[in-house]
Structure 1
Amino acid sequence: MTSMHSFPPSPGDGQHGEEFSLLRNLLSVGKHHLVTPGSTSGGLSNSTPNLSSERGCDSPMSDSFYRTPITGNTKVQLAKKNLFPVSARVSDWLVKIVQFAKSIPEFSTLSHNDKITLVLNSWSRLMLLYMAESNFQFAVTPIPTSHNSVSDSNPSQDEPTMKAVESLQTFIKKCQQMSVENKEYEFLRMLVLFNAGYAGLSSPKNIDQLNSVVQQLLQQHVRVSRPTDVMHYSRLLMCLPSLYGTNSKMFETLFCKHITKNTDMEVLLKELLQSIS
């Protein structure tokens, strides 16, 4: 277990130029928006414009604002004004998620079943970490409903709502307030990826051992890099419940439906795993 690759290299540009049957549109949307390996969490402003100067819904003057009471249960969708830039970043992150996993030597030694299981169960949480690292901002608008329809007071957890969006934005803001470093994000991604609690794993004990090693490496790193902040390691671990509480279907509906179209996310990720070296 001493061979744990503590800091997987950030995937470089140009590693996914080949055409994938299901991913041509995805990659063509994102190819001009790749974040360079040397970018930092503050690099978003240098690579892409700020997607929204304010969190939440568009202003009442926009064509997508609806004069209905907005509550936590209000169903929402991405605002039209940031649909393309959000889709471009999400496209890049989907590729980077697979590149990240495959850059870890311990991941490559796992069975094919466990590789797929880990990625399918962790992709939305890994993407949320990329969003937090980039201080990613986005705007949403209420989904229009007819005046005669009754607002759903208890929407499915799979549907994007204002409450769900606020939870995502709160997590991003919390990570910024904690000044999480790039290397700490790498460790958090490994902790999320190597989770023995995911159903369907054939070797959960091995995955749990990897998770324990990553926790130890993270603790050692924090002890050296922040010797006076004795609570920082604990605060990092306290971010994990929020990540695990992310509903992948809701996340997919909000951020990915415009790039995956009718393609199932499971099929898309499996093809990415096969196609990206």
Structure 2
Amino acid sequence: MGFFDPGCRCRGASGRTNNSILYSILKSDSLATLRQQACSCGSTRRRGVLRSPQVTCKAASAVLVKTLRFVKNVPCFRELPEDDQLMLIRSGWAPLLVLGLAQDRVDFETTETVEPSMLQRILTGLPDRQSEEVPTGQSRGAAGVSVLDIEAIRAFLKKCWSVDISTKEYAYLKGAVLFNPDVEGLRCIHYIQSLRREAHQALNEHVRLIHREDTTRFAKLLIALSMLRAISPLVVAQLFFRPVIGTVNIEEVLMEMFYGK
């Protein structure tokens, strides 16, 4: 929304350009005046937090334990060099977790908070979030995550539930996510590529055998898989684990859980 939005009804907006925020910034003698006259339209960004963090975080933690157990029980994964294992876990834990949330039908509710915009921070003297110290692996903005990111997670869950994915299909999907040849620095990249192809092929064969009448099911599953790319690991950590572990690096927790280090 622009500075001169005719629909603005905030205090001080009269439709004349000389009463705009920009004019006030240029002409005001004090920040106190600016703070009083600042237009609030579009000055906040929608963010959300879990409505019942204790319940949801407990469920997410249980899914994480199941997810890491699943990975441990994949023989060809444990045959990989430890460096490759670490990189695959770091790149895949979040989408694997969200897949697990879908499989266990873990639903959650959020409530909206507000995140001041850069303009509002300037006018009200709030510190710039870009300058705040943020631990490695954690996202900025302790007051929740973007509502758009939450909607992306919900859209994926609803997609999976609408397709009614079976236990075996979830296993093949997890294999396709886990063996990601696009991760930089992998030593056994060609082997990992072949493992992903095998996961896709096994999924396709299973669908054709069990759901012969549904010729679009395999495509629906691949679409669901592609939706995971829009879900940020930082968002998953912030939403489901920050209320529990605080500022602790989620990757440190993962390594300790997986390797007992």
Same fold (TM over 0.5): yes
Deviates more, 1:140-149 or 1:170-179: 140-149
C-alpha separation in 2, matches of 1:141 and 1:243: 23
The answer for the alignment partner of 1:230 in structure 2 is 215
The answer for the alignment partner of 1:134 in structure 2 is 104
Deviations 1:121-150 (A, max 9, x none): 111101111111223221112235579973
Correspondence 1:274 to 2:246: no
CA-atom RMSD in angstroms: 2.9
C-alpha separation in 1, matches of 2:44 and 2:120: 16
C-alpha separation in 1, matches of 2:58 and 2:215: 38
**Quick check: which has more Rg, 1 or 2?**
2
Q: Is the contact made by 1:158 and 1:250 (CA closer than 8 Å) also made in structure 2?
A: no
Could you say what secondary structure the match of 2:120 adopts?
coil
Which structure shows the higher helix fraction?
2
C-alpha separation in 1, matches of 2:104 and 2:41: 32
Q: Is the contact made by 1:73 and 1:163 (CA closer than 8 Å) also made in structure 2?
A: no
Match of 2:184 among 185, 199, 212: 199
* Pairs within 5 Å for 1:1-277: 73-79=45-51, 82-144=52-114, 150=120, 160-275=145-260
Deviations 1:29-81 (A, max 9, x none): xxxxxxxxxxxxxxxxxxxxxxxxxxxxxxxxxxxxxxx989994122112xx
Amino acid at match of 2:233: S
Could you say what secondary structure the match of 1:136 adopts?
coil
Amino acid at match of 2:47: K
> In the TM superposition, what is the alpha-carbon distance from 1:214 to its structure 2 partner?
0.9
TM-score by length of 2: 0.71
Q: Structure 1's 133 and 73: CA in aligned 2 closer, same or farther, altered over 3 A?
A: farther
The answer for the alignment partner of 2:126 in structure 1 is none
Amino acid at match of 2:49: Q
C-alpha separation in 2, matches of 1:117 and 1:191: 15
Q: Is the contact made by 1:124 and 1:251 (CA closer than 8 Å) also made in structure 2?
A: yes
How many residues align? The count is: 205
The answer for the alignment partner of 1:33 in structure 2 is none
Could you say what secondary structure the match of 2:181 adopts?
coil
Q: Structure 1's 145 and 248: CA in aligned 2 closer, same or farther, altered over 3 A?
A: closer
Q: Deviating runs (4+, > 4 A) in structure 1?
A: 68-73, 144-149, 155-159
Q: Structure 1's 145 and 188: CA in aligned 2 closer, same or farther, altered over 3 A?
A: closer
> In the TM superposition, what is the alpha-carbon distance from 1:104 to its structure 2 partner?
0.5
> In the TM superposition, what is the alpha-carbon distance from 1:275 to its structure 2 partner?
2.2
Q: Structure 1's 74 and 220: CA in aligned 2 closer, same or farther, altered over 3 A?
A: same
TM-score by length of 1: 0.67
Q: Structure 1's 275 and 71: CA in aligned 2 closer, same or farther, altered over 3 A?
A: farther
Structure having greater relative contact order (Cα 8 Å, sep ≥ 6): 1
Q: Is the contact made by 1:196 and 1:207 (CA closer than 8 Å) also made in structure 2?
A: yes
C-alpha separation in 1, matches of 2:155 and 2:162: 10
Q: Structure 1's 225 and 69: CA in aligned 2 closer, same or farther, altered over 3 A?
A: farther
Q: Structure 1's 207 and 73: CA in aligned 2 closer, same or farther, altered over 3 A?
A: farther
C-alpha separation in 1, matches of 2:104 and 2:200: 23
> In the TM superposition, what is the alpha-carbon distance from 1:151 to its structure 2 partner?
8.3
Unmatched 5+ residue regions in structure 1?
1-67
Could you say what secondary structure the match of 1:141 adopts?
strand
Amino acid at match of 1:172: L
Q: Is the contact made by 2:152 and 2:230 (CA closer than 8 Å) also made in structure 1?
A: no
